[in-house]
Structure 1
């Protein structure tokens, strides 16, 4: 079963843009890492700069979530 919270790369942040001829180019920097909630289908804030920090917070959130009751039909529950 897939965990509820997973780590995903954050959206890159545009630092500056410049024009070369008729095209515009943007330089970007990594936005770090976000935690994605598979149940709510959304990214959670804040973003984390380091992957280790994001992994630690994600593991803590998954541990807290697994202690709560599972809301699913009885035929899907393991016996």
Structure 2
């Protein structure tokens, strides 16, 4: 059984760019981790700095979802 929420690496956000000759290099902010909703096919907004922090939140929301389903 696939969990509804899983941990995925966050997408880096561009913070600027610099030019070196004819090439442009983008500067990005440090990435963290997001939760991905397999059912809704989208990333959740909060970004967690460490994988452990993201894993704890992922377990919490999966457990919360399971309890909701079992109570129905």
TM superposition score normalised by structure 2: 0.84
Unpaired runs of at least 5, structure 1: 71-79
TM superposition score normalised by structure 1: 0.77
Which structure has greater helix proportion? Answer: 2
Aligned to 2:9: 9
CA distance in 1, matches of 2:59, 2:69: 18
Aligned to 2:26: 26
Say which one has the larger Rg: 1
Backbone CA RMSD of aligned residues: 1.6
CA distance in 1, matches of 2:15, 2:69: 44
Structure 1 runs (4+) deviating above 4 angstroms are none
1:18 Cα deviation from its structure 2 partner: 1.0
Which structure has greater strand proportion? Answer: 1
Unpaired runs of at least 5, structure 2: none
